[in-house]
Amino acid sequence: MNKTLLIIEDNEQNYYMMRFLLEKKGFTVIGAENGKLGIEMALSSKPLAILLDIQLPEMDGYAVAAELKKHDEMKEIPIIAVTSYAMVGDREQILAAGATGYIEKPIDPDTFVSDIIQYLPKDWKDEP
């Protein structure tokens, strides 16, 4: 089973923390530091899920989510917004753009991986 997760995140510290936590649980993590590169990587790698920051250079997370959902091969891949955007309406706006879920930063290292797993496809199995 594919255990590759794509993180689209421009903050190095946030990226490394998420990557560390996910790799510790057996996931393979690839990353992109901006939305355009993230779209290219998503289309070429077809990850199990995409973790998407909203505030990105060049193209924000709303535009990235909407663009990804235009591609048939991306429609079933969960997009989980992992963001510090926590104002009223932000959650609804990113979900409307195509995200499957929403996790607020700062992330909780104790629950982050289980928070991600709840959005993975039902046929995903946590096996080596």
Q: Give 21-66 pLDDT, tens digit per residue.
A: 999 999 999 999 999 999 999 999 999 999 999 999 889 999 999 9
pLDDT of residue 123 exceeding 90, the answer is no
pLDDT score for 1: 66
Rounded to whole angstroms, the maximal C-alpha distance in the chain is 40
Please check the confidence at residue 128 and state whether its pLDDT lies above 50: no
Question: What is the spatial distance between Cα 100 and Cα 77, in angstroms, rounded to a whole number?
Answer: 9
Do residues 48 and 124 lie in contact, with contact meaning Cβ atoms separated by under 8 Å? yes
Provide the mean pLDDT of the chain: 92
Would you say residue 109 has pLDDT above 70? yes
CATH number for the region 4-117 comes to 3.40.50.2300
> Binning pLDDT at 50, 70 and 90, where does residue 122 land?
confident
Total-model pTM: 0.94
